[in-house]
Amino acid sequence: MTPLALAPVHVATPGGYLLVLALTLPVLGVLAILALAPRRARQVALASMAAGLAVAIAILAELLRTGDALTYVVGGWQPPLGIALRADGLSAALIAMTALVICATGLFARGMHDLAPETRDGRAATTFWALLLATWSALNAVFLGEDLFNLYVALELLTFAAVPLVCLDGRAETMAAALRYLMFALLGSLLYLLGVGLIYGAFGTLDIRILSGLGDGGPALSVALALMIAGLLAKAALFPLHLWLPPAHAGAPAAASAVLSALVIKAPVFLILRLVLDVAPPEAAAFAGQLLAVLGASSILFCSVMALRQARLKLMIAYSTVAQIGYLFIVFPLASGPEGMPPWETIAWTGGTLQLVSHALAKAAMFLAAGVVAEAFGHDRIADLGGFGRALPLSAAAFGLAGLSLMGIPPSGGFIAKCLLLTAAVINGHPWLAATILAGGLLAGGYVFRVINTALASPAMPLTTRRTIPRRLEMTALALAVAAVLLGFIPLEPFGLLQIGRSGLATAVLP
């Protein structure tokens, strides 16, 4: 076992206690829901969401004010003996994104539950609110964690909060999809835990900041990282480990699908990013980056084609999720600037982060819009939805605006993200990645315009809605889609927020 010095971490920075609130507020909301009557669950959940959003904004503001990462050492025990929470620029951006999507989903779910007053405060609705808050707390734990075993616990909490969201309606097909999701997630957890055990046995610590200073950790570190990344890929549903995602996301209730697609699968992607850039030795990081880029490009092309072939709207959106996730993995070889430039100062780093955030907003908007369509007409078969834009104009507009981001059409956030990634691919001499980005945009245009064409069609027999949908329910999806478009006004340069807190890590520069 290699002796290691204590990490230079303070017990708490000014604002560090905000990190504790980000973790505990949703948990307190869950406990309050369990303690109070079911009819109070909605009010407790919405109040917790409002408080959590305020905390997320406060974390972001404090980070920008100080220009340094926020830290909090649990119990005052310094790593490697204790556990530290830390929020750098990327973590703060993801916490703010998560709070925004969770709050929007909560408002949507409230409106959807109001459509059936007799079951509004029933078991399914109460369970949804508790699971939504538990998912939020687990996501924040992933984004703030510094200890690899603590991150394993956070991933497990996330899995056991997210899986029941798939089968809230109790149908046989959603139960089967949830069980498949659970099997893939448990396999991923097993591989991740094996890697954690190898690292602890070899180095006697699991703190990421300490491990980042090891340099060449030898074959034990490389094998451990390979196991952990393989497990996280299963949780992230990257091709070819994506088989569980389309049925799970397409069968879940609309609000649950939005959270699963926009947020839950981003947690393992975030951890892969940290393992490759912060922990892996330079040679292993370069190899892993190339392999992940190949899988990402394959995911973009294959799953975009699969999305084109789907007959159901939600299933098409689910395959689109797997395709769009692929863009996050082609960042690794692109985040290599001139000699000595760290990845977080490159345009690819900014492009990848913008892709992550814009995809979350756009995909949440798409699933919420699709949920409104299915609720209004009783199905989501694309061929039988001709002219649905006349009955649900705001939902059609939300889908179209979100589609702009997926295609990479200006002025959306997806355009800025893909433009930055395309520029990095050309500058760094990766023509095959540049071609993949362009082809992915064209394929996305194919399945997005297929739905838009259906929405604007003039069928021989006008569609009739089985239930009146209030406009305020459609406004939530439209607001998220507009937010995805507004991200397009981010300047085309490395974003300063994303560099906060990165200089203290001995991150490998990818060759």
- Return the domain boundaries, the chain: 294-511
CA 409, 415, 421: angle at the middle one, nearest 5? 140
Mean pLDDT across the stretch 322-345?
Answer: 80
Position with higher pLDDT, 318 vs 339: 318
Phi/psi for 379 (5° steps) reads -165, 170
Handedness of CA 129, 134, 139, 140 (dihedral sign): positive
**pLDDT of the residue at 460:** 67
Backbone angles phi, psi at 71, to 5 degrees: -135, 155
- Tell me the average pLDDT across 3-7: 42
Phi, psi of 84, deg, nearest 5: -115, 145
Number of other residues whose CB lies within 10 A of the CB of residue 466: 9
- State the pLDDT confidence band at 337, using cuts at 50, 70 and 90: low
pLDDT 10s digits, 304-321: 999 999 989 999 999 999
pLDDT of residue 507 exceeding 90, the answer is: no
Please report which helix (H) or strand (E) contains residue 238, including its range: none
Percentage of the chain exceeding pLDDT 70: 91
Spatial contact of 38 and 123, defined as CB atoms under 8 Å apart: yes
CA distance 312 to 400: 17
Beta-bridged to residue 86, according to DSSP, are 71
Which pLDDT score is estimated for 13? 63
DSSP-derived letter for residue 410 is T
Q: Which stretch of DSSP H or E encloses residue 86?
A: strand 84-87
pLDDT of residue 113: 75
> CA-to-CA distance for 171 and 251, rounded, in angstroms?
9
Kindly state the helix (H) or strand (E) to which residue 162 belongs, with its residue range.
Answer: helix 148-166
End-to-end CA distance of the chain: 30
Q: pLDDT value at position 5?
A: 42
Residue 172, number of CB atoms within 10 A of its CB: 8
pLDDT of residue 279: 86
pLDDT digits (tens, 9 = 90+) for 93-147: 999 999 999 999 999 988 887 777 666 667 777 888 999 999 999 999 999 988 8
Helix (H, G, I), strand (E, B) or coil at 12: strand
pLDDT band per the 50, 70, 90 thresholds, residue 508:
very low
Of 19-33, 217-231, 461-475, the one with minimum mean pLDDT is 461-475
**Average pLDDT along the chain:** 85
pLDDT at 216: 67
The Cα–Cα gap between 451 and 389 comes to 10
